Copies of this chain bind each other. A is one copy, B any other.
Amino acid sequence: MPDEMSRPLIRGRGEGGSFRHLEASVSEPHAPVIGILGTGDFSRSLARRLVFSGYHVVVGSRTPKRSVALFPDEAEVTSQMEAASQADLVFVAVFPEHHSTLVELKPVLAGKTLVDVSNSLQINRDGPSNAEQLARLFPESSVVKGFNTISAWALQVGPRDGSRQVFLCSDSQKAKRSVMQLCHRMGFIPIDMGLLSSSLEIENMPLFLFPSWRIPVLCTLFLFIFFYLYNFIRDVLQPFVTKGKSVFYKLPIETVNVTLPSVSLVMLALVYLPGLCAAFLQLWWGTKYNRFPSWLDRWLTRRKQFGLCSFLCAVLHAIYSLCLPLRRSARFKLINLAYKQVKDGVDDSWVNEEVWRMELYLSAGILALGLLSLLAVASLPSVANTINWREFSFIQSTLGYCALFMATVHTLFYGWNRAFDPEQYRFYLPPTFVLVLILPFVVLLGRLALFLPCVSLRLSQIRRGWEKSRHIRFTLPDEDGRNGLEDISNV
């Protein structure tokens, strides 16, 4: 839900109670003088924060008289020229399209550090970045890119909430380091991103929209549509066409509910498939030092997202299933059944096999869901950061494969003997669960293969740095003193 970050920014005078102290906060005598060009929201919050961390702040405005009211008393508001010449370090908080209006300041800015805080409006793929353009305009100044990922709000309330990381890059290590110190003193965590060439990446950061989720989500959608249509044809269209029986009421819930578990199980298998591919590739190559094909690389880095998509589908499947008995349709069916039984005078309709089938696949399903939930919780950033590598790989690999196994068992019990019942092959289409089970079976068998002593021994050697091509005694001392744990086989 929207939180404080999204609160509208407060005007110069009259902060909320929590800014009492700012009003009176004094800048200390010998602190470096920080200049700010521009008088927008960000400039104001930045000025406030700097004053508040004990810096002497000079703001350069086109209209000092009008702007002075917007800034805390301790900040000196003057002309751009004046500010630029006084300051040791200058924040450029002006729209990139107006950087050119600053060229007049070139001489006074020469030799000084300029911090470009600008954002773009849309993702810029091929550059040059705003920071690089600024650097071209001021060749004698050293430009540092940063603070663009920090919201004016985060500056105001201080780094108490919201992310505290400030990504910095510059071609001048000296300039970068001075800005880093500034960050530390303001209570942020500077992250060195290297040379100005990465400014493009930094400028795009706030514009990305879940890049790592694109493929997994598309994959989920595709599978959903495919299975939904498949089930529609088998469960709704077929009875309508063949027997003229209209069961379209199944579309909103029942069809969705048989589709979701299929998607979930396939996605879960897709989480563990790349790890297997990687392992087999390494065995085949006889080394861990060949690079994986980029598709595999990308896939490996997306496993978390694949897993969470699978989890989401599993949870929805659970909720949909639990809703089934709520529905009027279920009630009507039940009553009609009762009616029928009475008419037929059957005094016990109990079918032991059906009962057992359902009890078994339900409990397998619940256990699978429980395991998946543990995985999901463990993938929360704050939880993942508190567990060590071994615990991480225990959860994500051992428990993960257990979940995959239980989900497969769940599906098998659900299928029971239907795979062999010709009745089920409507329009010659096999029941959905038959299609769904293929991938999980492949993955589970692949994993079993890796458990064979010879294979697993060789793999662990490779993971410790052994290479088919070289002699082992010779290479080991060159390896670093870390067991091969932190490797994909574990996850």
Contact = CB atoms under 8 A, between A and B. Distances in A.
A171 to B, nearest CB: 8
Given A4-B304, A61-B478, A208-B390, A327 B358 contact: yes
A206 B275 contact: no
Nearest to A163: B385
Given A334-B331, A396-B1, A476-B98, A194 B25 contact: yes
A63 B384 CA distance: 38
A160 B351 contact: no
A301 B7 contact: yes
A393 interface: yes
Nearest to A490: B6
A341 B394 CA distance: 54
A39 B149 contact: no
A249 B392 CA distance: 37
A62 B366 contact: no
Given A96-B481, A98-B477, A206 B326 contact: no
Given A173-B54, A338-B339, A4 B351 contact: no
Interface string A153-181: 10000111111010001000110010000
A335 B336 contact: no
A278 interface: yes
A232 to B, nearest CB: 15
Contacts of A25: 194-195
A204 to B, nearest CB: 10
The number of chain A residues touching the other chain, given as a range, is 35 or more
Contacts of A480: 38-43, 93-95, 117-118
A73 to B, nearest CB: 13
A380 interface: yes
Nearest to A205: B388
A314 interface: no
Pick from A7, A310, A474, A476 the residue with the most CB of B within 10 Å: A7
Given A187-B192, A359-B327, A381-B383, A303 B95 contact: no
A356 B249 contact: yes
Nearest to A296: B8
Nearest to A486: B151
Contacts of A219: none
Given A2-B491, A328-B355, A488-B7, A482 B118 contact: yes
Given A17-B201, A28-B173, 20 more contacts: A2-B271, A5-B389, A10-B291, A18-B201, A26-B173, A38-B479, A93-B480, A95-B479, A148-B482, A160-B165, A163-B385, A253-B359, A328-B357, A328-B358, A331-B337, A332-B355, A334-B335, A335-B341, A339-B346, A381-B385
Contacts of A94: 477-481
Contact of A162 (B303, B379, B385): B385
A1 B338 contact: no
Interface in A442-460: none
A303 B1 contact: yes
Interface in A101-126: 101, 116-121
A331 B340 CA distance: 14
A191 B288 contact: no
Nearest to A344: B339
Contact of A38 (B151, B301, B336, B481): B481
Contacts of A321: 323, 326
A343 interface: yes
Interface string A396-431: 110010000000000000000000000000000000
A135 interface: no
B303 A329 contact: no
A35 interface: no
Contact of A337 (B7, B98, B165, B335): B335
A189 B165 CA distance: 13
Nearest to A46: B480
A461 interface: no
Contact of A2 (B70, B335, B397): B397
Contacts of A41: 465, 480, 482
Pick from A40, A375, A380 the residue with the most CB of B within 10 Å: A40
Interface string A340-370: 1111001111111011111110110010011
